[in-house]
Amino acid sequence: MVLSIHKLGDPVLRYPVPEGDIDSAELKTIINDMTDTLREAKGLGLAAPQVGILKRIFVYDMGEGLRVMLNPQVVWESPEMEEDTEGCLSIPGGEVTVRRRAAVKIKAFDELGAIQEIDAEGLLARLFQHEIDHLNGVMIVDRTTEEERRRLIHEMIREDRG
């Protein structure tokens, strides 16, 4: 089932989600719904709070199939930083420049409960940091300049008016 994506301004996006166990039957539904929603939105990644689910879960697909990350943690981050443009399904209309770690290693459980560790750089490292930010109530408008933040909000309002 395709769920509606909450937009910037909705308090559900600003809640730091605590870690917790996820019931396996419930998890299956959540993952199916998040997958449908990600596909429909043609996004690369989607975090549970974006669809109003306060669980530490995100899904992503970089063109190699869907991956599910439960209770993800950054276990290593590079000292080097990298700037690039980023958009967000919760802020339709534009992109802003965001400075992030150039590389990270993250650890998470998959949908079957197996531990997965992934070394990421470039776009994937950026995606991981973006999605984990969502689980902590942080959004790209918090990580850019005041000027870019204003521009993005204006673009979102324009997009909203159609």
Q: Which residues are catalytic?
A: 131
Nearest residue to Zn ion by CB is: 88
In the complex, least distance from residue 130 CB atom to Zn ion, rounded to whole angstroms: 6
Strands (E) located in the chain: 45-47, 57-60, 67-77, 81-86, 96-101, 103-109, 115-121
**Residues 6+ positions from 35 with CB-CB distance below 8 Å:** 59, 66
Collapse the DSSP code of 35 into the 3-class scheme (helix H, G, I; strand E, B; otherwise coil) and give the result. Answer: helix
User: Which CB sits closer to Zn ion, 24 or 97?
Assistant: 97
The whole-angstrom separation of Cα 143 and Cα 162 is 26
User: Which CB sits closer to Zn ion, 72 or 115?
Assistant: 72
User: Which CB sits closer to Zn ion, 70 or 88?
Assistant: 88
In the complex, least distance from residue 41 CB atom to Zn ion, rounded to whole angstroms: 11
In the complex, least distance from residue 25 CB atom to Zn ion, rounded to whole angstroms: 27
| Residues making contact with Zn ion (CB under 5 A) | 88
- Nearest 5°: phi and psi at 84? -160, 170
